[in-house]
């Protein structure tokens, strides 16, 4: 897909991983995620007739995945839904606390043929909101509030500790 004239203007490998994933989402709107191998195959189609740069696979599997510890990349371009499965990151998805990199490529860093993906992402894909399942620990918030509803917290704890010696 990259002509001789644009080979020097190719997007970063991270952006290529995002483009391939975004194209799959746009081509298959009924699917929520994709196997990493599917994303790699789509990236290979984009890179043809040239070879896929090795870094693209690394970004799909690790470097651009929001939940993983940064090493070294901090991008949040992809989201791991299960082992070996990825989708695009959405605002509101969980991420590793040290990941504060880009969530979407810069429009001017993409080849003109793929710039419309940014508009699609913002108006269609990201508008659906994050699909991260709730954290099971945080889901416990408020559980048992009826147990101490009529008692101050300090008094409740003091009552529980009576008889400790």
Residue 40 has pLDDT above 90, yes or no: yes
Nearest one of 137, 38, 33, 40 to 86, comparing CA atoms = 33
Question: How much is the pLDDT for 130?
Answer: 56
d(CA 157, CA 43): 58
How far does Cα 141 stand from its chain's mean position?
A: 25
Residue 85 has pLDDT above 90, yes or no: yes
**pLDDT band for position 1 (cuts 50, 70, 90):** low
């Amino acid at each position: 897909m990259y002509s001789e004239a644009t080979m020097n203007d190719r997007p970063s490998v991270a952006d290529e991983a995002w483009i391939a994933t975004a194209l799959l989402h746009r081509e298959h709107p009924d699917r929520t995620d994709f196997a990493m191998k599917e994303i790699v195959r789509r990236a290979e189609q984009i890179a043809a007739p040239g070879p896929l740069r090795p870094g693209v696979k690394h970004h799909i599997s690790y470097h651009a995945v929001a939940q993983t510890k940064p090493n070294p990349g901090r991008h949040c371009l992809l989201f791991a839904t299960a082992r070996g499965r990825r989708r695009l990151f959405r605002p509101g998805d969980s991420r590793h606390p040290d990941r504060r990199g880009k969530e979407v490529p810069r429009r001017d860093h993409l080849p003109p043929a793929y710039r419309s993906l940014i508009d699609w992402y913002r108006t269609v894909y990201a508008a659906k909101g994050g699909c991260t399942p709730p954290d099971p620990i945080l889901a416990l918030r408020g559980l048992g509030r009826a147990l101490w509803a009529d008692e101050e917290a300090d008094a409740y704890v003091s009552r529980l500790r009576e008889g400790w010696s």
